[in-house]
Amino acid sequence: MSPCALRRLVLTDFRSYERLDLSLDGRPVALYGANGAGKTNLLEAVSFLAPGRGLRGARAVDVGRRTPEETQGRGWSVSARLDTPAGQIALGTGLDAGAARRIVRLEGETVAPGRMAEHVRLVWLTPQQDRLFLEGGAERRRFLDRLTFAAEPAHAAAAADYEKALRERLRLLTEGPDDRVWLEALEARAGSAGAALAAGRARTVRLLQAAIDERQDRPFPRAILTLTGPWGEADDASPTLAHALARARDRDRAAGRSLVGPQRTDLLVTHRDKNRPAAECSTGEQKALILNLVLAQAARLSAGNDSRAESAPNPILLLDEVAAHLDAPRRAALFDEIVELEVQAFLTGTDRMLFSDLGERAQIAHVDHSVLEL
């Protein structure tokens, strides 16, 4: 297995943290404290060590610390020393006050944000995802894309390219000029990126289902995963999608949105033992189903079963307020599985007793007003 663990985490002016310098030993980290103490802010800081907007989906300009008198957040930074397959490295990101975009540094050198994905793979679960099966398809697509991105960093670029091509195409359709050559070029670009996007999702669902099927005798309900929509892994998906977009110009112009493509895909999850859609299951069952998806993804990535990521690091799990929603046996099983997978996980909860089954297998810290006491 390829290691990945934070050994030191330093925050400066991030959310509620003026300054934090935290030493870690590679074990799971359990954070407990009152609501609003700063636990989720710390997990969000870790999530910014990967490309994107972090586990809250926040813009870089919105996460800087500010006092009630300040109208704009300060410049901020998150830096870490990590054990990786290539050895220990220094990785950091941040935003200077007044800057338009954040900067990423690897071993002190400024690099493109995408380089972070070479060294850190993050999988997270937050309370906002508790309604994953009850919300619209967009939330499930985002969830699936995040799982896919953890294994295939290029997936994020395909998603961004596809969305940009669709936006430019729709602007051309609704605002003009009526330039057929430019439309064809945009549709070809959308077809290529959209095919890669759809293929990545389909690949993740297939591999994730295999990981779920292998996980027998677990206390979490097993799921059957299904992708809806016609855009899959076929070799001709790119020209087919480009052709479909061309045929849909009049409809898309009238609707003011794109009506065909992988943006219409949905992830359907069924409780295997009950043969019931996840949306019809109890709240506790839905939470357990989502958690099992995250654990299955962590298992397949940490075990090196993904041939596309053999040299990549093990994932780091960010599990916000997960323990409180599980009964005692499932909570103990979750901790056992994290330790068995040999992955570093950050967990939060309001009560230290929630983590009693972890014992000496974890670093347990009390958080109070963004101050940590290990």
Residue range 19-41, pLDDT digits in tens: 999 999 999 999 999 999 999 99
From 115-124, 262-271, 273-282, 296-305, the region with the lowest mean pLDDT: 296-305
Per-residue pLDDT at 367 exceeds 90: yes
pTM for this entry: 0.90
pLDDT reported for residue 81: 96
Query: Greater confidence, 312 or 356?
Result: 356
From 170-174, 237-241, 279-283, the region with the lowest mean pLDDT: 237-241
Q: Would you say residue 305 lies in a domain?
A: no
Per-residue pLDDT at 67 exceeds 80: yes
Q: Would you say residue 229 lies in a domain?
A: no
Q: Would you say residue 257 lies in a domain?
A: no
Q: Would you say residue 106 lies in a domain?
A: yes
* CATH number of the CATH domain containing 100: 3.40.50.300
pLDDT reported for residue 232: 57
| Average confidence (pLDDT) over 205-228 | 89
Q: Would you say residue 351 lies in a domain?
A: yes
Q: Would you say residue 357 lies in a domain?
A: yes
Domain around 101: 1-120+314-374
Q: Would you say residue 18 lies in a domain?
A: yes
Distance CA 21, CA 19 (A): 7
pLDDT reported for residue 84: 87
Question: Average pLDDT over the chain, rounded to whole?
Answer: 90
Q: Would you say residue 108 lies in a domain?
A: yes
pLDDT digits 0-9 by tens, 161-208? 999 999 999 999 999 888 999 999 999 999 999 999 999 999 999 999
pLDDT digits 0-9 by tens, 99-155? 778 999 999 999 999 899 889 999 999 998 889 999 899 999 999 999 999 889 899
| Average confidence (pLDDT) over 84-105 | 88
| Count of domains observed in the chain | 1
